[in-house]
Structure 1
Amino acid sequence: MPADTHAPGRSTPRPGYRSVFRTREFRPVFAAHLLSVLGVVVAEISLTVLVYRATGSPLMSALTFALGFLPYALGGTLLAGIADRHPARRVLVACDLVCAACAAAMILPGTPVAVLLALRCAMAFVAPLFQGTRNASLADILGPSDTFVLGRSLMRMVAQSAQLVGFGLGGLLLTVLAPRGAIALTAAGFLGSALLLRLGTRTRPARTRTSPLAGLRAVLGRRRLRALTLLFWLPPVFLVVPEALLAPYVDGIGAGTAVLGLLMCAMPVGTIAGELWAGSALTARTRSRIVAPFAAAGPLPLLLFAGRPGVPLLAAALLLAGLAHAYTLGLDQWYVDVVPEELRGRAMTLLSTGLMTLQGVGMALAGLAAEFLPVHAVVTGSGILGTTVVLLLLAELRAAARQEGGLKDETAPAAK
């Protein structure tokens, strides 16, 4: 564990994002992440077009997007143990090669739609294992320290940015390439990612040889670790509600699709800005201090929906909800401090699995609620419930910390 840099009377240096890139091994990991994320985005839009042209069915076209989320729960649950039972580099390269092979198979002329969808499922099935293993290996590369937190933040911002610009780039790409040609670039991207990880990172031994089921019980059976996991999982369930219902809300206030597109960008832009601010302007100690207030306040801007706001106030509410995401950097540090090293891979895999799965559940529940209640009432209710749930989880976290020892209070920094 690194020495405490918060000694009284001494200024605390802020390493900033540049310090992360000074670690030689991180650079190929970051480049591989960029290639794979862009590859997935291009594959999604290209496969959607390909399936629609083959079937003429909007339902089948939409299903290609849904299949990017649905296998997450199954893959993350069944494969989580692999993250710790095998060397991380081997797991990461194998996942990239599986995705490259699936993308390559999509390129073959005459591939039936059912096979295309099955291949998309296979790519999504291994995604949580890849993400969990990579996130766990970041702690090996950067150390379970402030630099790890900044590295995780960079990875998240790349994923958020891909949602903002990736589909636009994919659309432009399809103006000059056939869908299968664009998917060929996806296969090349995954191969490039595998090569970067194989040659740019060093091999490390497996963390554990214990039973995968025993490891899963250990992750979710520890009271403080369970509370931290839920603090990652549950707030997004409520924050996806306005995004899920934005189309009917915008239609209800008489705005057009161009406004809808701009509003869909508001929360991701806020999220990226919040992470950049927390990662570049705050010390590790301050990032820890803002976790509780920012996590609790994050859903509160959604209460503005109660007044059925127009576009400017609506954009401000979504932007503020995104900015509050700055608390995640401090929460990352709490998490890596609590997770035992031998369980880090499967814990990170479960974290990714729950995030993706529960966001899908949140969207579905929002749509169901909006069948019976006005959209603005559903979004307002999600803001109230979200803050209530966060406050309950923070109380549970404090109680667990006192019971298990270690940090005196999870809502304030303390020397270990």
Structure 2
Amino acid sequence: MAATGASQSGSLRSSWQFKLACVWGGELVSVLTSSILQMGFIWHIALSTNSAAMLSLASLAGFLPLALFGTFAGTVVDRHPLKRVLIGADLFIAAVSAVVALVSAVTPLPVWVVICALFFRAVGSAFYTPASLALTPHVAPPEHLVRLSGVTQGVQSGGYILGTAVAAAIYPLWGLTPMIALDVLGALVASAAVLVARIDVGDLREEGALGASEGFIGGLRALFRESLDGLRVLRGFSGLYALLWCGFAFSLVFSPIAALFPLMTLGHFGGTTTDAAMVEIAFSVGMVAGSALLAATGGFKNRSISIVAATALFGLATLVSGLLAPGGFAVFIVMSFLMGLSSPFYSGPQTALMQEKVPPEYLGRVFGLYGAIMSWAMPVGLVASTLLADSVGVPLWFAGSGLLMVVLAAVTWLIPSVREVGRPLVQDDPGR
């Protein structure tokens, strides 16, 4: 009996469900504590400076590393064992937080230190994100990838919602210090979870092969050359390549909308800050609900239908929001929920498609490239909204953006390679 129990225990520890449960459990803790500290940093900047420009600079510091280094980070992910990349990125982010704690212990925390911390934490995330996305197809059967994408979306959304709520309770009472301590603890928990999961993906990779014999300059050239391989591989799948640029167009239209939600609530609907918070909560709850629905159903069998339908639903909800009269705030909350609900069905199937189609040895580079390109859409969209939104009005901007999203959904579906790439490679399991 003892031998049988030991055998069952060993089988459990080696199962893909156990590995992912460990990693995602640790990731949930890490996302939760990171969200707490991230909100604390933002509030510290807002209360210390009362400056919109400084908040914009903080946002820039948060996205710039992924835009600049995402593709190269993906190459590093493909060249090293995923276990080391995941743990190294988590501990690097924790070390940045620890430095902030040391500075705050000897002097009132300068805003420039917080902005630098946001930048370097984002550098760690630039490595962690492609490694995390590359892990799942190495471990799980392909027929479960879409549902598992729903789970990862739920982990991210749930951690963010809980983190924001906890931060609102901690910061007014105790300030940043306990938030930093929680963030370091969360990184340690996530690292321990990766160790417990016994992930051996990439352990046999030749880490020294990246231009080591060519010296430092040769290494940089090799890094750049291998980073471009991600683009080359992605272009080999015309459907995925088309989805990449359709996704860039969607992000270009969406990014200004994300920043204009408070103005829509406070200006057009004449609401309060509490009303603005209700809209954010509705969107976040919609994301969690969408993640759960995607995890339970897997979406449409043709992944491309899920992506196009999500784009169309998001666009219709945005269009309706822009056409509402000032008394239609309750409908705006419902539309915000629908926008959040559609989001996992847009990003989840796209992630699963890349995990299914792209050779495993290129996944880090492809996800790094994808994240970098999406990141560049944010500042371009924000600049456009800054120049034009005030003159055309926020409601009209919402309506126009929603219409563009609906048109984009139609254009995406009309691309033959997009329709073809979404067809399932494997037969769905009977429980589907």
TM-score interval, smaller chain: 0.7 to 0.9
Partner of 2:373: 354
Mapping 1:16-31, distance limit 5 Å? 23-31=17-25
AA at the equivalent of 2:264: Y
Mapping 1:282-361, distance limit 5 Å? 282=298, 285=301, 289-309=305-325, 310-325=328-343, 326-361=345-380
Sort the Cα spacing of 1:150 and 1:317 in 2 relative to 1 into closer, same or farther, 3 A: same
Mapping 1:167-182, distance limit 5 Å? 167-182=164-179
AA at the equivalent of 1:337: E
Partner of 2:384: 365
AA at the equivalent of 2:179: A
Q: Displacement of 1:49 after TM fit? A: 4.1
Q: Displacement of 1:308 after TM fit? A: 3.2
Partner of 1:212: 226
Give 1:126's match in structure 2, choosing from 124, 127, 132.
124
Q: Displacement of 1:26 after TM fit? A: 0.8
Structure 1 residue matching 2:199: 3-state secondary structure: coil
Q: CA RMSD in A?
A: 2.9
Sort the Cα spacing of 1:76 and 1:61 in 2 relative to 1 into closer, same or farther, 3 A: same
* Deviation per residue, 1:153-203 (Å, 9 max, x gap): 212122222333321211212244331232122122112212221332322
Q: Displacement of 1:113 after TM fit? A: 3.6
TM-score calculated relative to the size of structure 2 = 0.80
Q: Displacement of 1:291 after TM fit? A: 3.5
Q: How many residues align?
A: 387
1:104 aligns with 2:120: no
Give 1:248's match in structure 2, choosing from 253, 263, 267.
263
2-structure distance, mates of 1:414, 1:88? 25
Q: Displacement of 1:140 after TM fit? A: 0.9
Residues 207 and 343 in structure 1, CA contact (< 8 A), matched pair in contact too: no
Q: Displacement of 1:415 after TM fit? A: 5.6
TM-score calculated relative to the size of structure 1 = 0.82
Partner of 2:421: 410
Partner of 1:85: 79
Sort the Cα spacing of 1:320 and 1:77 in 2 relative to 1 into closer, same or farther, 3 A: same
Structure 1 residue matching 2:200: 3-state secondary structure: coil
Structure 1 residue matching 2:18: 3-state secondary structure: coil
Return 208-217 or 151-160, whichever deviates more. 208-217
Give 2:412's match in structure 1, choosing from 375, 393, 396.
393
AA at the equivalent of 2:250: P
Structure 1 residue matching 2:271: 3-state secondary structure: coil
Q: Displacement of 1:305 after TM fit? A: 3.5
Q: Displacement of 1:302 after TM fit? A: 1.7
2-structure distance, mates of 1:356, 1:162? 21
Return 362-371 or 89-98, whichever deviates more. 362-371
Aligned-residue identity in percent: 22
1-structure distance, mates of 2:133, 2:71? 17
Structure 1 residue matching 2:356: 3-state secondary structure: helix
Structure 2 residue matching 1:347: 3-state secondary structure: helix
Return 303-312 or 51-60, whichever deviates more. 51-60
Sort the Cα spacing of 1:357 and 1:146 in 2 relative to 1 into closer, same or farther, 3 A: farther
Partner of 1:12: none
AA at the equivalent of 1:148: L
Structure 1: give runs of 5+ residues left out of the alignment. Answer: 1-20, 402-408
Residues 301 and 320 in structure 1, CA contact (< 8 A), matched pair in contact too: yes
Residues 133 and 346 in structure 1, CA contact (< 8 A), matched pair in contact too: no
AA at the equivalent of 1:173: I
1-structure distance, mates of 2:101, 2:255? 33
